[in-house]
Structure 1
Amino acid sequence: MVRESGRRVAADRSFTVRTKGSVENLVTSADIENERFLKQELTSLLPGSAFMGEEGDEASLAETEWVWIVDPIDGTTNFSRGIPECAVSVALFRNAEPYAGYVLNPFSGTLYSAVVGHGAFKDGRPIRVSDRDLAASIMSTAYCCYQKEMAAPCFRVSEELYPRINDIRRIGTAALELSLMAEGACELYFEICLSPWDYAAGLTILKEAGGCYAGIDRDVSFDRPSPVIAANSEENLAEVADVVRRVFGGKTPY
């Protein structure tokens, strides 16, 4: 089903684009159509389940035993410009806890998946985070294009960490970046303001692959927007979290 949704996204050559409040925040007709498709298929697959999606459905994790958290296209700006780095992101929660996650690149067809307690996989093959230390690590990040007043402290985080690590990437899709970490392609991740559908599936996969994550002054929320700090090891997580917390004064800025 996730693969079918990806095929539909990749095949859509006639999508339209509009903004959601600002020029940086885009939605395409492909987002809307793919969310409609996924909601119909997923809730039919699991009758009685609720659905939380980027393009309109606002279910709460407390609403019912099973809740789907879905981003029909994570990385809409990339998709809208023909950059083939985006993802269909589908997470399933049970009793407000992660149960399964699926992240598909619709253009390459690569599927990352995990069921809690059963490990993480890339196209059916087991994956694991790397064991690289901080100095050898690559960090993925972003600079909060929807709330540019938070860009300056995000740049400071990068500025402080950059001399201590290997390099920095900004790919433009949290779900895919977290999945790349799960397979050992990068080791560190930070973004100050994400919504649950951006990271629910990716963090589920990452944790099953041996990674770890944290917030600033509270746990990462799967019910409301949250900062996400993630790493391949607790040691690297502590190093990144220390910089983020110091730069942001130890508080989530919203």
Structure 2
Amino acid sequence: MDLQHARAVAVEAAEAAGRLIRTGAGGALGVRAKGRSGDVVTDLDLASEKLLLERVLTAFPSHSVIAEESGLLGARDGEWTWLVDPLDGTNNVAIGLPAYVVGLALCRAGRPVVGVVHDPVAGQTWSAVRGDGALTSSGARLSAPYQPSPHGPLLAWTQGYTVARGDAVVRELKARLEGHARRMLQLWAPLLQWAMLARGDIDGFVGYRAEAVDLPAGALLAREAGIEIRALDGGPFAEGFGGAPEDRSFVAAHPRALPALLDLVR
């Protein structure tokens, strides 16, 4: 398997989907409810996913795909599986907030080996191949800097859609983080927050029972940019898409910033 070729296919597909989304974002979106959590889906999600599936399966017809809206296509336990998030930030698009991205990950035996995040608004793409680093749109190496502030860290938060509003762990975690952070972002677009962490725009990222489809691409991008990711208790974190929701809770930061952040959430 040529992972550089897979990266190129994923980048081209994500950028094509991004053009489709940006063109359609100013028109009628066809917004409707999705599930019971208050989430929504739009016609843009479906059109973007259709394009991505066609590109990926044309290039890799023997691979399986797990897509945000379509679910599983192909064998559940196949060696190679693509994760497709056609529009991460749908709720933002629905209210006219220009904060959304397209995400793709290729996993081998459940572990991401290629990750791509494309921002249609900024016209930027970030991609990573396991063990070979992360790249910007221009082909430059992406390396997260360590730049502490005397006013506290700038943090981001995400949680899964199934997490209850009154979850006691969420209340405690967010209260501790907000009490120590300079700012805490909740953008409804976790892949965008992973890209911000990899670029050094924010200092740390905490997730509680994160969604499985968008986690691997962002986590791989951040790791390959030099970010360290741990479980909430400080133990190892596996950025795959399997396992229970509680296995997808994490703390991520530059290695020099991580100990202080872990002290807050342990």
CA distance in 1, matches of 2:253, 2:32: 37
Identity in percent: 24
Output the CA distance in 2 between the equivalents of 1:165 and 1:134.
10
Change in CA separation of 1:242 and 1:150 when aligned onto 2, cut-off 3 Å: farther
Deviation by residue 1:90-144 (Cα, 9 ceiling, x = unmatched): 0111232221111111222111111112211221322211213486421001465
Where does residue 36 of structure 2 map in the other structure? 22
1:134 and 1:241, CA in 2 relative to 1: closer, same or farther beyond 3 A?
Answer: farther
Does 2:236 correspond to 1:213? no
Q: TM-score under structure 2 normalisation? A: 0.82
- 2:29 aligns to what SS in structure 1? coil
Range with greater deviation from structure 2 (197-206 or 150-159): 150-159
Match of 1:42 among 40, 43, 56: 56
* Equivalent of 1:2 in 14, 34, 38: 14
Query: 2:258, 2:249 → 1: CA distance?
Result: 11
Please list every run of 5 or more consecutive structure 2 residues that lacks an aligned counterpart in the other structure.
1-12
How many matched pairs? 245
Query: Structure 1 residues 208 and 18, CA, compared in 2 at 3 Å: closer, same or farther?
Result: same
Per the alignment, residue 57 of structure 1 pairs with 71
SS of corresponding position for 2:120: coil
Q: Measured at CA, do residues 133 and 62 of structure 1 come closer, stay the same or move farther in structure 2, by a change above 3 Å? A: farther
2:164 aligned partner: 148
1:71 paired with 2:90, answer no
Distance 2:251 2:73 in 1: 26
Is the contact made by 2:195 and 2:218 (CA closer than 8 Å) also made in structure 1?
A: yes
* Cα offset, 1:163, TM superposition: 4.1
The answer to whether the aligner puts 1:32 opposite 2:46 as a matched pair is yes
What residue ranges of structure 1 are gaps of 5+ in the alignment? 246-254
Instruction: Give yes or no for contact 1:101–1:200 (8 Å, CA) kept in 2.
Output: yes
TM-score normalised by structure 1 residue count:
0.85
Give 2:180's aligned residue: 164
Distance of 2:210 and 2:250 partners within structure 1: 11
Aligned 8 A contact 1:139 1:167 in 2: yes
What is residue 250 of structure 1 aligned with on the other side? none
Distance 1:237 1:98, change over 3 A: same
Q: CA RMSD in A?
A: 2.5
For 2:98 and 2:75, locate their aligned partners in 1 and report how far apart those are by CA, in whole Å. Answer: 31
Q: After the TM superposition, which segments of 4 or more aligned residues of structure 1 sit over 6 Å from their partners?
A: none
On the 8 A contact 2:228/2:252 being kept in 1, the answer is: yes
Residue 23 of structure 1 and its aligned partner are, at CA, apart by 6.0
The corresponding residue for 1:102 is 116
Counterpart secondary structure, 2:126: strand
1:200 to 216, 222, 240: 216
